[in-house]
Amino acid sequence: MKDSQPLIAVTLGDPAGIGPELIAKLFSETSLFANIHTVLVGDRWLWEEGQRIAGQSHDLPEVQSFTEARKYDEPVFLPIDSVSKGTVGYAEETAASGASVLSILTHCLDAAQDGVVDAICFAPLNKFSMKKGGLEHEDELHFFAKKLGVKGYVCEFNTLGDLWTSRISSHIPLKDAAGYVTQERIVDASRLIYDSLKLAGNDSPRVAVAAFNPHAGEGGTCGREEIEVIEPAVEECKAQGYPVDGPFPADTIFIKAKEGEYDAIVTMYHDQGQIAIKLLGFKQGVTVQGGLPIPITTPAHGTAFDIAGQGKADVNPTRNAFLIACRMGGKLRQNRLKTTTST
């Protein structure tokens, strides 16, 4: 019988940030690693530094491949030499750090493409360092999509417990946001977050769509996107069998969601959802990379250069990101096994 437990790849994130110490803290919570295979991928010296800062000591078995990691019921360490210790320091945006992140993630993505890794959880990274180090895309999500050969719609989900948000545009100038308000993108974002929530364990997600204009356009007197684009998109979702409602004014929809009326909100641009979700629970948030063939998660905060190397970083968002990766990776593993069995 084939192994039904998922293999989760974990990375240390940007060497100059809080990632290594967060992962050291995460790996001290041994109960998290039951019924899964976990492989930590990264530079040995950086892993040792993270443990030192966090006041932890972990003796992980060393493996030489992702496939070998499946032989262990305990977390293991796969060493990759991606950056020399003397070339990076704390709180520095450098090409060396960015290139390191890209190298480690590429190894994990290669294993995912081979069907060996079922989910990836990466510690915080720095986009500017990554661009210095060779990132040619607007963000890591589009790097993942290109590497994995994704042609369809992708977007980041930001999650806070049972509440998830998506957006139809991401890391673009605000002046360009209106051009992204299209029926196709709204339908794609709504369907994607619904399907992803089901993969994460929610059997019947309820999705709300935010308006673009103040007060949902006030009947067309304050913008017509709601009437001409968003409402038809919501109706199209319903016609396809998706439980989607809206558009709702953006300044009140999160109140409804907080009170439990909805499980997901589709927003029209980056800060429309980000400000609300981070105010509701910055120390809990997780980012899920939506639209990819495998689950990829990370804590919603950044590299926190201001506290890097001080042992102060809160592990809670990283723990939440890891748990979502485990749930979604477990579902993906089961689906893969069903497909293999049926063929």
* Whole-angstrom distance, CA of residue 260 vs CA of residue 23: 32
Mean pLDDT of the chain: 94
> Measured between alpha carbons, how far is residue 19 from residues 98, 291, 305 in Å?
13, 25, 10
> Measured between alpha carbons, how far is residue 295 from residues 7, 115, 120, 131 in Å?
11, 12, 6, 23
Residue 343 has pLDDT above 70, yes or no: no
Q: Which residue ranges make up each domain of the chain?
A: 1-150+292-343, 152-290
Same CATH topology for 1-150+292-343 and 152-290: the answer is yes
pLDDT (average), residues 81-106: 96
Q: Could you report the per-residue pLDDT of 292-337, keeping only the tens digit for each?
A: 999 999 999 999 999 999 999 999 999 999 999 999 999 999 988 8
pLDDT score, position 1: 37
Protein fold of 152-290:
Isopropylmalate Dehydrogenase (3.40.718)
* pTM, two decimal places: 0.91
Q: Could you report the per-residue pLDDT of 95-149, keeping only the tens digit for each?
A: 999 999 999 999 999 999 999 999 999 999 999 999 999 999 989 999 999 999 9
pLDDT score, position 172: 87
pLDDT score, position 78: 98
Q: Could you report the per-residue pLDDT of 158-212, keeping only the tens digit for each?
A: 998 889 999 998 888 999 999 999 999 999 999 999 999 998 889 999 999 999 9
The C-alpha torsion from 270 through 271 and 276 to 281, rounded to 10°, is: 70
Give me the percent of the chain exceeding a pLDDT of 70: 98
Residue 2 has pLDDT above 90, yes or no: no
| Residues 311 and 54 sit within 8 Å (Cβ to Cβ) | yes
pLDDT score, position 342: 65
Q: How many CA atoms lie within 13 A of 307 on its CB side?
A: 13
Pick one of 3.40.718.10, 3.30.420.40, 1.10.10.10, 3.40.50.150 as the CATH number of 1-150+292-343: 3.40.718.10
pLDDT score, position 46: 98
